[in-house]
Amino acid sequence: MTTSDKSPPAASQQMIENLARIEALSQRLVAALSNKRSPNPALEGPGADLYLTAGAAMMKEWMDHPSRILESQVNYWGQAMKHYLEASQALAQGQMKPPADPGPKDRRFANPLWDSHPYFNFIKQQYLISARALEETVSKIDGLEEKDRRRVDYFTRQIIDMLAPTNFLATNPDALERAIETEGASLVKGLENLVRDIEANKGDLVVTLSDKEAFQVGGNIGTAEGAVVYRNHLFELIQYSPTTEKVHKTPLIIFPPWINKFYILDLKPQNSLVRWIVDQGFTLFVVSWKNPDPSYADTGIDTYIQDGYLTAIDQVKAITGEPKVNAIGYCIAGTTLSLTLALLDKRRDKSINSATFFTTLTDFSDQGEFTAFLQDDFVDGIEAQCQADGVLSSYFMTRTFSYLRSNDLIYQPAIRSYMMGEPPPAFDLLFWNGDSTNLPARMAVEYLRWLCQQDRFTGAGVDMMGERLHVSGVKVPLCAIACETDHIAPWIASFNGVAQMGSADKTFILSESGHIAGIVNPPTKDKYGHYTSTAPIENPNEWKGMADHHKGSWWPRWGAWLAERSGRMVAARKPGGPGHPVLAPAPGTYVVEQVQV
């Protein structure tokens, strides 16, 4: 037998197969990228005015305070050179170990090689030194307005995070170790994952955060028993089946945000707020919003109030025979519930007995982490995109929210998927996070312009439906729950909005954790505590300074508050009734619709 007749070694055979797969995947990748939508430059980065403003401020800093700039540069050069010399000296002495690591620890660099291997440690330390120098330089620039400073800080942080050595194959020890262990198969699998994500998003790259096959809405998540008892073009109304013989007389309706879907409140039985509320003896209704397509282009905030809130409240009153309802609004749905309450106050309509607000903003005077996205260059681009598409696509919403936590929601998932070749985890919260929705064009622009940018609701008022609506028109008894580390609706901004509401009966609860975990916080887990205070709802810092910390979930405290405002106990109500036949079992049909734009 000649040498040419011999079969290649197993490793070589594996390599040949991998190369063949790479060639096929590369062809698919090129085909998928050809479907990419035309980019909107206004949504890809800040406008030229920010570059000019920041550049002018930097030049002024050079002219006014040259010593300050030189000091920063010399400090950076000194740190970088010192570390280089220490590393070189260690190698010259044959120690093959890096110099002492001054810290602080960064969880991106958890692999021991970042501390023990001279090559990786040198790269890590030089990156961290450069990152600190950039941050310090930007922080010392005078002459920037606060909004411009926040934007420069934000985009500087994005650049720093993007250039982390963990984001590149040649400087990521985890990915290199995996590639060696698998003889390159992990890289091939990573390319498969990359092609899959680009194909699934019409040429755009959106990292899949969760195994989409692991969950089925209505199958193993969103399974609380109930029925759709009303449907129109904007929402399905779900009434949940009672689990107690008696229920409170006054029904409760939840308005979830129409960014993402309502089943965040019913992910699984052990953390389902829906199930917990029903178990406490409340007749519960939940609105499930329609995922809009371009035919909803002219749907505005007024449409959501009239055909959504007011219609849903009327249907609940008709089904239960009660003259009033208690209402909950979550996030943007809480903002719109506030507008609805101000409208009902103008009309002297007493249909809402009490209101609960989850992580709700009504005072937008401090735009917080969204400052980067709420200036005219970006909002003008959003408006143009909405006019072209008829909706604000879920793609842009997902991307915006992800970049607020880019390491957690973009880079680390991308590393695991594309470099390590790992499948996405079976994580219900991330599955829900990826099940996003579009926003109607007019509604999206009105929300961004009138509320976020112009802060009309706490300012001059919002002219809508023949009335001028102001936050002071919210006069019903209310309970607001905010979350201590919420980066979407900061608790102080939420507090300031509640402080301006006209109600004489206000309760404020501050939950530990963030926008989702602080709300979906069941008592059985005893994970996050909460704060209450006897201080008046006027100054957030004084309120927090006098607050008492309570272990465990805020749910029971709020449940007791709600029970006091829900009337006597009556016989439990089954879903539907005369004139309201059951149209579908919960969680309904709208929640499973997928609309891509």
- Cα dihedral sign, 291-293-295-296: positive
Indicate whether this model's pTM tops 0.85: yes
For helices 66-92 and 48-64, the axis angle rounded to 10 degrees is 90
Per-domain residue ranges for the chain?
226-364+465-592
Residue 40 CB neighbours (<10 A): 13
Tokens 């719109």 identify what position? Answer: 336
Question: Pick from 285, 277, 275: which is nearest to 254 by CA?
Answer: 285
Q: Rounded to an integer, what distance in angstroms lies between the CA atom of residue 253 and that of residue 234?
A: 16
479: annotated active-site residue: no
**pLDDT score, position 397:** 87
Residue 313 CB neighbours (<10 A): 22
Q: Rounded to an integer, what distance in angstroms lies between the CA atom of residue 483 and that of residue 358?
A: 9
Distances (CA, A) of 44 to 171, 376, 392, 561: 27, 14, 15, 46
pLDDT < 50 stretches in the chain: 1-4
Q: Which CATH number fits domain 226-364+465-592: 3.30.2400.10, 3.40.50.150, 3.40.50.1820, 3.10.105.10?
A: 3.40.50.1820
The one catalytic residue among 331, 386, 452, 483: 331
- Each residue of 82-115: b (16+ CB within 10 Å) or e? ebeeebeebeeeeeeebbeeeeeeeebbebebbb
Pure H helices in 348-458: 376-389, 394-404, 406, 412-414, 428-434, 441-446
pLDDT digits (tens, 9 = 90+) for 475-499: 999 999 999 999 999 999 999 999 9
**pLDDT score, position 268:** 92
Pure H helices in 228-348: 273-279, 301-303, 311-320, 332-347
Identify the DSSP state of 539. -
Provide the CB-side half-sphere exposure for 111 (13 A, CA).
16
**pLDDT score, position 69:** 77
Q: Rounded to an integer, what distance in angstroms lies between the CA atom of residue 378 and that of residue 385?
A: 11
CB 46 within 8 A of CB 158: no
